[in-house]
């Protein structure tokens, strides 16, 4: 049993504020030591597939920065924005009794007089990054039709780990989506992977989260780290432990993810005050 499992007198599943309280604190955990760093290095050394034509494999010093062929611009005045969220069950908000998930909470807080926002949640339970590669363009472009500003929010990867997908393939899938989107003038934003109750699974999720952060950093794309702030967060772990499947959070947990998104570059990405 995970040593973070809360006492049995905790609040029932799904009970809690829609957002973390003002005194919520996120603390970076200590370095997990050389074992995880060695494993991550081994993964990087094993990669042989490039993320983009002419670009060396991740983890190698000779990889040039990706330069999109189409710049992303923000219009003056009221902006007609089409925003699509693509991912798996966490994106869909599975397990939230309020039916909002983190996506609904973020959209509810994304209000600005110059932002005419139309948002779509395309989260599909069980999806891997490979599934997202296969469907994102066909499903997103109809939602962007007639919108003058196109935005894409990605959050996927836990099912990559669960399905045994290699690190190289997972990060390549993410890179391909980001490169194609950016090349076509679509603003991209990535929400990282949250931790689970399983320490062994968390080690693999953390390694993939770091790989995703690297993919985004190489492209100048905002990446929200949801792993480190939540892996030692009692409220997050309590919400997972109280859920029926012990894998998806309830209202409080989704509120924590929404808080992280909203306070880690969201307004800057949207160019709103």
DSSP states of 129-155 as a string?
HHHHHHHHHHHHHHHHTT-SEEEEEEE
Establish if 3 belongs to a structural domain: no
CA dist list (Å): 235 to 20, 25, 32, 44, 252: 9, 11, 21, 33, 7
Establish if 245 belongs to a structural domain: yes
User: Tell me, what's the pLDDT at 273?
Assistant: 76
Establish if 219 belongs to a structural domain: yes
Distance CA 259, CA 58 (A): 30
Establish if 129 belongs to a structural domain: yes
Tell me the pLDDT band of 72, cut-offs 50, 70 and 90. Answer: low
What is the residue range of 230's domain? 79-270
Establish if 39 belongs to a structural domain: no
User: Tell me, what's the pLDDT at 74?
Assistant: 72
Q: Which two tokens stand for residue 102?
A: 């983190």
Percent of the chain with pLDDT over 70: 73
Average pLDDT over residues 231-252: 97
Tell me the pLDDT band of 7, cut-offs 50, 70 and 90. Answer: very low
Considering its fold, how many domains does the chain have in total? Answer: 1
Tell me the pLDDT band of 71, cut-offs 50, 70 and 90. Answer: low
Establish if 247 belongs to a structural domain: yes
User: Tell me, what's the pLDDT at 55?
Assistant: 40
Crossing angle between the packed helical segments 129-144 and 167-183, to the nearest 10 degrees: 20
pLDDT in tens, 180-213: 999 999 999 999 999 999 999 999 999 999 999 9
CA dist list (Å): 174 to 9, 30, 38, 169: 41, 28, 23, 9
pLDDT in tens, 130-148: 999 999 999 999 999 999 9
Q: What CATH number does the domain containing 208 carry?
A: 3.40.50.1110
- Average pLDDT score, the chain: 82
């Amino acid at each position: 049993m995970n040593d973070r499992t809360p006492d049995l007198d905790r609040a029932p599943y799904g009970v809690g504020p829609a957002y973390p309280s003002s005194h919520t604190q996120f603390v970076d955990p200590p370095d997990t030591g050389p074992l995880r760093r060695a494993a991550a290095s081994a993964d990087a050394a094993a990669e042989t597939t490039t993320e983009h034509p002419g670009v060396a494999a991740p983890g190698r010093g000779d990889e040039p920065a990706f330069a999109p062929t189409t710049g992303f611009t923000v219009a003056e005045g009221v902006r007609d924005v089409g925003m699509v969220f693509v991912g798996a069950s966490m994106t869909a908000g599975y397990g939230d009794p309020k039916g909002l998930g983190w996506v609904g909470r973020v959209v509810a807080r994304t209000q600005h007089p110059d932002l005419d926002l139309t948002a779509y949640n395309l989260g599909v339970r069980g999806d891997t990054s490979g599934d997202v590669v296969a469907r994102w363009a066909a499903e997103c472009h109809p939602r962007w039709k007639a919108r003058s500003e196109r935005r894409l929010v990605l959050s996927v990867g836990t099912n990559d780990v669960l399905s045994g997908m290699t690190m190289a393939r997972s990060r390549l899938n993410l890179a391909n989506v980001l490169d194609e989107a950016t090349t076509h003038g679509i603003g991209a934003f990535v929400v990282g992977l949250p931790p689970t109750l399983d320490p062994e699974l968390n080690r693999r999720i953390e390694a993939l989260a770091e790989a995703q952060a690297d993919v985004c950093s190489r492209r100048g794309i905002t990446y929200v780290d949801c792993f480190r702030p939540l892996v030692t967060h009692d409220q997050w772990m309590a919400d997972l432990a109280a859920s029926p499947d012990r894998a998806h959070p309830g209202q409080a947990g989704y509120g924590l993810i929404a808080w992280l998104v909203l306070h880690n570059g969201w307004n800057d990405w949207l160019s709103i005050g």
